[in-house]
Amino acid sequence: MTTTGLLKGRGVAPLFGLDWPIVQAPMAGGITTPALVAASCEAGVLGSLGAAVLSPERIRAEVAAIRALTRRPFAINLFVLDEPERFARDGEAEAIARLASWRARAGLPAQQPPARVCESFAAQLDAVIEAAPAVASFHFGIPSRERLAALRRAGCRIVGGATNVAEARAWVEAGADAIVAQGAEAGGHRGTFVGGFEEGAIGTMALVPRLVDAIDLPVIAAGGIMDGRGVAAAFALGAQGVQLGTAFLACDESGAHPNWKAALAGADTRGTRLTRVFSGRPARGLVNGFMEAMRADEHTVPVYPVQNALTAELRAAATRAGDIEAMSLWAGQAAALARPMPAASLVARLADEFDRAVGGLGGART
C-alpha cells in the first residue's frame, strides 16, 4: 500500500513529534495495552494509554512496558475526579439489589459494598508527572493550575477534551496545547463537565467547526471517524488532527475480548446508545442484554464512579467468560466500519484512504 503523503506531517503532527496527525484514542479498562500503544507509536501516530482506572503502580508498570517497546512519543490519559472519599454513596444498596441476578448468572457471590469507588486522582497524576510522557490528556474536567504547571515542568504537552465551546474556552484559559473535540458519535464515556450532558451531545460535524472558530488552539476531531474519508472530512472542517478509538479497538494489539471485537461487525443490527447503567455516567456502547434489562433504571443508578465500582466485578467476570450480554461494549456510532488488522496496517490504510478521498474532491491541494 502506498500513499502520496498528503496527510503526512500535517496539523498536530509536528506539535507532538508524529509522522501523522492521528491519535489512537485512550480507552480505559485494559483496551490500550502497551502493545497497542507502542504499535501505534511505531506507526507514526500518537499512541495513548487509557489510565483512568489504573492504580499509580499499574501506571508505572504500563509505562515501563510501553518504553520497552518504543522510544516514540506517547500519551497518558486520566479522568479528572474528586478523591474517592468525596463521592456520595446514595442508592448503593438499591443498585446492589438490582445487580444480584446478574452476579448469580456470572457465578459471583453476594456483593459487598466496595471499600472505595475509584483510584486517587492525585496519586494517579503524581505517577503521570513522574512518567513524563510526551502528552498528558484529560477527560471529565481540568486539573488545578499547580498540577498542570508540574506537567509542563516535566516536559508534557497538555490536551483537554471538550464537548462544547465553553469547555474548550476553559481549556484555553488553563493553557492547553490542543483540544480534543468529542462528538456525540464517539464511543465510551462522555467528557462533558460544563453544562448538561444533553446539551453537550453535539455531533462531530457541528462541534469541530464551532471550536475551530471559537478558539486559537489546534482542534483534534473525535467521534465517528473510522477511515480516511472521515479523516478528510475532519480536516475539511478545520481540524488539525483526528482521534480514533473504535477503529483501533478492532486492532490485533487491542486488549478487547475477541467476542467484543466480533460484535463490532453486527453494530448496525445491535445499534449503539448512550447509557448510565454500567458506570453512572453517560457512555456510548453496543446495545446488549444488560443495557436492555437495566434501561428502566437509567436515571436511578448511582453516580460515576460509584456505579462503575459496583459493576466492575460483574463486567470482569463477563469478560473472562466472553459473555457480551453483560460486558460494557463501548463503541462509537460508526462501529460497523471497524476493520480487524494490525495497528500499523490501519494507519497506512487511513493515510491511503485520505489521499484518495482528497483526490476525489477534484484535485484539492494541501
Domain count for the chain, please give it. Answer: 2
H-run or E-run covering 207: helix 204-214
In this prediction, residue 4 has a pLDDT band, given cuts at 50, 70 and 90, of: low
In this prediction, residue 204 has a pLDDT band, given cuts at 50, 70 and 90, of: very high
Q: Are 177 and 157 in contact (CB under 8 A)?
A: yes
pLDDT confidence of residue 361: 83
In this prediction, residue 281 has a pLDDT band, given cuts at 50, 70 and 90, of: very high
Taking residues 274-301, report their average pLDDT: 97
Taking residues 218-233, report their average pLDDT: 98
Query: What single-letter DSSP state applies at residue 70?
Result: -
| 286: phi then psi, degrees, rounded to nearest 5 | -65, 135
Residues above pLDDT 70, as percent of the chain:
98
Residues of the chain by 3-state class (helix, strand, coil), percent to 5 = 40, 15, 45
Q: How far apart are CA 72 and CA 7, in angstroms?
A: 19
| Residue 57 sits in the same domain as residue 183 | yes
| Residue 147 sits in the same domain as residue 201 | yes
| Residue 183 sits in the same domain as residue 62 | yes
Domain containing 285: what range? Answer: 87-115+255-337
More confident residue, 13 or 360: 13
Query: What single-letter DSSP state applies at residue 6?
Result: S
Q: How far apart are CA 84 and CA 340, in angstroms?
A: 37
Render pLDDT for 101-113 as a digit per residue (tens, 0 to 9). 999 999 999 999 9
Using CB atoms within 10 Å of the CB of residue 302, give its burial: 0 to 12 exposed, 13 to 18 middle, 19+ buried.
Answer: buried
CA distances from 102 to 105, 114, 302 (A): 5, 17, 17
Render pLDDT for 319-363 as a digit per residue (tens, 0 to 9). 999 999 999 999 999 999 999 999 999 999 999 999 999 988 865
pLDDT at 249 over 60: yes
Residues above pLDDT 90, as percent of the chain:
96
Residues ≥6 apart with Cβ < 8 Å to 102:
290, 293, 314, 326
| Residue 152 sits in the same domain as residue 275 | no
| Residue 105 sits in the same domain as residue 160 | no
Q: What is the pTM of this model?
A: 0.96
CATH classification of the domain holding 217: 3.20.20.70
Tell me the Cα Rg of the chain. 20
Taking residues 59-74, report their average pLDDT: 98
pLDDT at 366 over 50: no
C-alpha cell at position 45: 501516530
Q: Are 24 and 248 in contact (CB under 8 A)?
A: yes
Q: How far apart are CA 100 and CA 79, in angstroms?
A: 28
| Residue 102 sits in the same domain as residue 49 | no
pLDDT confidence of residue 2: 46
What does pLDDT average to over the chain? 96
| Residue 310 sits in the same domain as residue 228 | no
pLDDT at 114 over 80: yes
| Residue 99 sits in the same domain as residue 242 | no
Query: Torsion over CA of 111, 309, 247 and 284, rounded to 10 degrees?
Result: 90
pLDDT at 1 over 70: no
| Residue 125 sits in the same domain as residue 272 | no
